[in-house]
Amino acid sequence: MLPPIEPAVLEQNPSFAILYEDLCTRKLNPDGSSRDAKRQRVHDEIRRNLNTSLTHHHTTQILLSTLTDLPSRSDASVLPPELHSVIELTVAQLSGHLSASDRNILAGDNEVFLDNIDVIAQAVSEQLERVVTLLCTIADPSATNPPPPSSLPTLATTHISTSTSTLPTALSAARIQLANTLSALLHLHTQVLETGIRILEQTIHGALSRNARAKAEVLGVMGREIGVRASIHNLTHPTPPALLTALQGYKSALRGMENGLKDRIELAEQELGLYEKAGEKGMKDLARRAKHLRAEIRRVEDEIRGLEEGK
| Per-residue model confidence (pLDDT) at position 105 | 72
* pLDDT of the residue at 285: 76
Using CA atoms, how far apart are residues 214 and 89, in angstroms rounded to an integer? Answer: 102
Is 228 within 8 Å of 222 (Cβ atoms)?
no
Model confidence at 267: pLDDT above 70: yes
Q: pLDDT value at position 142?
A: 73
Residue 151 DSSP label = G
| For residue 311, pLDDT beyond 60 | no
Mean of the per-residue pLDDT values of the chain = 80
| pLDDT tens by residue, 76-127 | 777 888 888 888 888 887 777 777 677 677 777 778 888 888 888 888 888 8
Say if CB 131 and CB 146 are below 8 A apart.
Answer: no
Q: Can you give the pLDDT at residue 190?
A: 93
Q: What was the pLDDT predicted at 24?
A: 76
Task: Note the pLDDT tens digit of each residue in 10-19.
Answer: 788 888 888 8
The per-residue pLDDT for 274 is 74
Distance in angstroms (rounded) separating the CA atoms of residues 138 and 121: 25
Per-residue model confidence (pLDDT) at position 53: 92
| Cβ neighbour number for residue 206 with a 10 Å cutoff | 13
Asked whether the predicted pLDDT for residue 1 surpasses 60, the reply is: no
* CA neighbor of 139 nearest in space, from 155, 128, 127, 154: 155
- Helices 107-115 and 117-139 pack at an angle, to 10 degrees, of 70
pTM listed for this prediction: 0.38
200-240 pLDDT, tens digit per residue, is 877 776 676 778 788 888 998 998 999 888 888 777 777 77
pLDDT digits (tens, 9 = 90+) for 176-209: 889 889 999 999 999 999 998 888 877 776 676 7
Res 30: pLDDT: 65
Q: So what's the pLDDT on residue 36? A: 64
- Sign of the alpha-carbon dihedral angle for 172, 173, 174, 178: positive
